[in-house]
Structure formats: structure tokens, C-alpha cells
């Protein structure tokens, strides 16, 4: 029943994010064929057939340049509905007097959010990949662009999971949805700014907080780019944080008094 409640509370955000990212991905996919004549828009498929490789690469770069943040945004907006957000409005008294452990409540919400993040990441990009396949008449998934499109959403999810955990933790700490949302964004943005500040003067290269796999995907798929090694360290760090943050939230909520 708690999963149903989580779904009811997050479904509007989920549907909004899904539509927004799907429309964006499809528009970017169609963009190379769009033209304007005498004030009218028209679509010409010839560019896709004439230069399938470069066109697909342009489409991929455009999609990734905007949709790379889908995991992050979904995680923050969906994660802010975690049970900690019920403390400030007072519905937590109702929730915590149902015979469900606080741990099960935390992980039920987490599981539902993971499912939603996966859908928000996978559906727009796989639809774009399918459309690109139709337009270029090439379905070779071993090709560099299509294969990159197929793995991109999963890397977005890997980036999103630690952010989801961080949002769950911040929501428990701040005891409200808005507090969780603001503090998570604050932590991520503050770290990114701090990282940029210290890279040059201190000659340090601190790791990107969670975004390593996505940075790899974007750098590895530029025209003429030399292939670089997959950042396994960043991946494991993301996996570790994805588990550690919700566990910390679970501990906090278990000890919380209302």
C-alpha cells in the first residue's frame, strides 16, 4: 500500500519528466531533417540517408548534451517525496503508526523511484534510437552511435542513483520535501563549483562526484576523439554512494522522533 501511495504522490512529476525528456529527444532526432521554406516547416529525410553516420552522431551529441541530466533531475524531484518529507507536514504520524518498519518504508520508496528513473532515462533515448534507425535505415546496434545511445540511459541511471540516495538523506535530515530538494541541489552544485575552483590553482583533480560514467560517454563519442578508458573507479563510487546514502537516511529515520 505504501508503494501505491508513493506512486500517487510522484506520478505527476514522473509523467512530466517523461514527457519533457521524450519530446526533447524526439525533437533533437528530427532536427537534422527540419527545414523552412516560405514560412512553412518541412521535414526532409535525405540527410539521414545520405550521411547516416555523421547525422546520427550530431543527433546523439545533441540528445546527450541535454538529456545527460535526466537521471539527476529525476532523482532529485522524485526522491524528494521520500518518507522524511512527511515529517514537516505532519502526515508522518499516520505513516509511522501503520505496521510497517521505517526501513521497509524507506526502501519501498527507493525502489519505486529507481523504477521511475529507469523509465524516464530509457524511454526517451530508446525511442530516439528507434526513430534514428528508421530514418537512417540502419539498425546495426554494434555501430558506435546506436550502441552509445543504447548504453547512455543506463549510465544516466547510474549517475541518478547516488543523487536519489542523497535526496532521500537530505529529505530525512531537513524533514521536508523542499529542504531535501534544495540541500541536494546545493551539495551537488557546491561540489561542482569547488571542484572547478581548486583544479587550476591547486593542481588537484578531485573526482566528479557521480557523473564520471556520463563524462566518459560524452568525451568518448566526439568526432575524432581518442577512446579513453571507462572510469571504473567513478562507477564503483557511484554504486557505493547509491547504497550508502539511503542506508544513512534509514538510520536517521529509525532514530527520529516526531
Partner 1 sequence: MSDAAILTEGLSKSFGAQAAVSELNLRIQPGAVYGFLGRNGAGKTTTMRMLLGLVRPTKGRARVLGLDPTREAELMRILERVAFVPQRKQLYGWATPGELARMNKGYFPRWSDEAAARLAQRLEIPMNMAFKKLSIGNQSKVALLLALAQEAEVLILDEPTAGLDPVMVDEILRTLIEDHVSQGRTIFVSSHHMGEVEQICDWVGILEGGRLLLESRLEEIRQEFRLVIASGEGLSAASSTDVVSATTDGRFRRYVVAREAERFAAELRGQGATILEISPLGLRELFLHLVRKEDPCTPGNAGAKAAPVSSFS
- What minimum distance in Å lies between the beta carbon of 242 and partner 1? 25
Among 1, 200, 202, 229, binds partner 1 (CB under 8 A): 1
Q: What are the residues whose beta carbons fall under 8 Å from the beta carbon of 138, sequence distance 6 or more?
A: 52, 56, 146
Residues 6+ apart with CB under 8 A from 136: 48, 49, 52, 55, 56
CB of 189 to partner 1, least distance (A): 30
Q: Which of 4, 16, 42, 236 binds partner 1 (CB under 8 A)?
A: 4
Position 252 contacts partner 1 (CB under 8 A): no
Nearest CA among 68, 221, 93, 226 for reference residue 155: 68
Q: Pick from 34, 194, 228, 258 the residue near partner 1 by CB under 8 A.
A: 258
Q: How far apart are CB 212 and partner 1 at their closest, in Å?
A: 37
Decide: is 178 part of the binding site for partner 1 (CB under 8 A).
Answer: no
| Cβ-based nearer residue to partner 1, 99 or 224 | 99
Is 1 or 200 the residue whose CB approaches partner 1 more closely? 1
Report which secondary-structure segment, H or E, holds 213: helix 212-220
Q: Binding marks (x or -) toward partner 1, 87..126, rule CB under 8 A?
A: --xxx-xx-xxxxxx-------------------------
Of the candidates 67, 66, 71, 231, which has an alpha carbon nearest to the alpha carbon of residue 164? 71
Burial of 2 (0-12, 13-18, 19+ CB in 10 A): middle
**Greatest distance between any 2 Cα atoms in the chain:** 67
The residue count for binding partner 1 (CB under 8 A) is: 19
Residue listed under C-alpha cell 551537488: 188
Find the helix or strand (DSSP H, E) in which 34 lies: strand 34-37
CB of 244 to partner 1, least distance (A): 22
Between 105 and 181, whose beta carbon lies closer to partner 1? 105
What cell numbers appear for 251 in the block? Answer: 538510520
DSSP letters, 120-132, are HHHHHHHHHHHHH
- Given the rule CB under 8 A, which of 1-9, 113-121, 168-176, 202-210 is the region that contacts partner 1? 1-9
* Interaction residues for partner 1, span 51-90 (CB under 8 A): 89-90
Write the CB contacts of 128 (distance below 8 Å, at least 6 apart in sequence). Answer: 25, 26, 28, 29, 59, 63, 149
Interface ranges with partner 1 (CB under 8 A) = 1, 4-5, 8-9, 89-91, 93-94, 96-101, 254, 257-258
Amino acid at each position: 500500500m505504501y508503494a501505491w501511495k508513493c506512486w500517487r504522490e510522484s506520478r505527476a512529476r514522473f509523467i512530466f519528466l517523461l514527457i519533457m525528456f521524450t519530446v526533447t529527444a524526439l525533437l533533437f532526432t528530427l532536427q537534422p531533417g527540419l527545414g523552412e521554406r516560405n514560412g512553412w516547416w518541412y521535414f526532409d529525410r535525405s540527410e539521414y540517408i545520405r550521411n547516416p553516420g555523421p547525422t546520427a552522431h550530431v543527433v546523439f551529441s545533441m540528445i546527450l548534451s541535454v538529456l545527460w541530466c535526466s537521471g539527476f533531475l529525476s532523482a532529485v524531484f522524485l526522491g524528494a517525496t521520500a518518507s522524511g518529507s512527511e515529517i514537516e507536514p505532519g502526515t508522518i504520524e499516520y505513516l509511522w503508526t501503520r505496521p510497517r518498519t521505517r526501513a521497509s518504508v524507506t526502501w519501498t520508496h527507493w525502489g519505486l523511484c529507481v523504477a521511475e528513473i529507469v523509465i524516464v532515462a530509457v524511454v526517451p533515448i530508446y525511442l530516439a534510437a528507434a526513430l534514428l534507425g528508421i530514418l537512417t535505415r540502419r539498425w546495426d546496434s554494434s555501430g558506435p552511435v546506436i550502441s552509445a545511445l543504447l548504453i547512455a540511459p543506463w549510465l544516466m541511471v547510474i549517475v541518478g542513483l547516488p543523487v536519489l540516495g542523497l535526496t532521500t538523506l537530505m529529505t530525512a535530515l531537513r524533514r521536508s520535501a523542499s529542504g531535501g530538494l534544495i540541500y541536494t541541489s546545493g551539495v551537488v552544485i557546491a561540489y561542482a563549483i569547488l571542484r572547478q575552483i581548486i583544479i587550476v590553482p591547486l593542481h588537484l583533480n578531485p573526482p566528479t562526484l557521480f557523473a564520471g560514467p556520463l563524462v566518459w560517454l560524452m568525451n568518448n563519442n566526439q568526432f575524432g576523439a581518442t577512446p579513453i578508458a571507462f572510469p571504473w573507479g567513478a562507477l564503483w563510487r557511484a554504486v557505493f554512494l547509491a547504497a550508502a546514502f539511503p542506508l544513512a537516511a534509514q538510520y536517521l529515520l529509525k532514530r527520529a522522533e516526531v
